[in-house]
A and B are shown apart, each in its own frame.
Chain A
Amino acid sequence: MLTIAIYIALVGVAASMIGIVIRVVKGPSAADRVVALDSLGISLIAMTGLFSMLLDSSVFLEVILLLGILAFIGTVAFSKYLEKGAIVDRERHK
């Protein structure tokens, strides 16, 4: 019963990932693609959680935390790049 529910949820998350990939491919601006890639990372977290339930092992749970941190850092870096042209500022005082 629970396995069937997990399978259905996996199919749903996979379908949503396909939709997000469509947005990544045809997004008109770069920020669109960044938003789509951020939510792609977040749905990858969901996939990892579902797979760790399916395989009944708790060794993937670090992966969840790590993917969350990496998605956030990537989004912040890209938004700084799009806004100012540089990720790490050289000049502190302007």
Chain B
Amino acid sequence: MIGAFFSVVTAIGLIRLPDLYTRTHAASKSATLGVMCILIGTLIFFLTEDGMFNSRIVLGIFFVLITAPVGGHLIARAAYNMGVKPAPETVVDDLADKEKHEKAKSRK
């Protein structure tokens, strides 16, 4: 139930949020948490129903926990290097300033 709630929050975030970076934020975090809640529920279900401890679910939980934020990070960085602009409300863009600075330094 909790996991399904977080999945719904993920979908709402994916539809509503203005640009790619905030959407990545919504997708990677709340989807990870939702899936982890559902998988922990599955683990407890099989533990109580059949009395067997299922190591594959534990492996799945850890794998999702490790890889989903890494995937979000990779895709956000790829999008930044592609030149996707953030939302117009953005105030600070440190990475662009840094790149401009390095370009100026290399020209000297």
Contacts and interface: CB of A to CB of B under 8 A. Distances in A.
Interface of A: 2, 5, 8-13, 15-20, 22-23, 29-32, 34-36, 38-39, 42-43, 45-46, 49-50, 52-53, 56, 58, 61-62, 64-65, 68-69, 71-72, 75-76, 78-80, 82-83
A80 B14 CA distance: 22
Q: Tell me the dominant secondary structure on chain B's binding face.
A: helix
A56 B52 CA distance: 13
B50 to A, nearest CB: 7
A76 B50 CA distance: 37
B71 A38 contact: yes
A15 to B, nearest CB: 6
A21 to B, nearest CB: 9
Contact of A13 (B7, B79, B81): B7
A76 B79 contact: no
A18 B10 CA distance: 11
Given A13-B3, A31-B75, A39-B31, 10 more contacts: A12-B7, A12-B8, A13-B4, A22-B15, A31-B78, A35-B20, A42-B32, A72-B70, A82-B82, A83-B82
A25 B14 CA distance: 12
B57 A31 contact: no
B71 A16 contact: no
A17 to B, nearest CB: 7
Contact of A61 (B10, B28, B57, B72): B57
Contacts of B63: 65, 68-69, 72
A31 B78 CA distance: 8
Contact of B4 (A12, A62, A71, A80): A12
Given A49-B38, A71-B71, A83 B10 contact: no
Contact of B49 (A17, A18, A35, A56): A56
A31 B56 contact: no
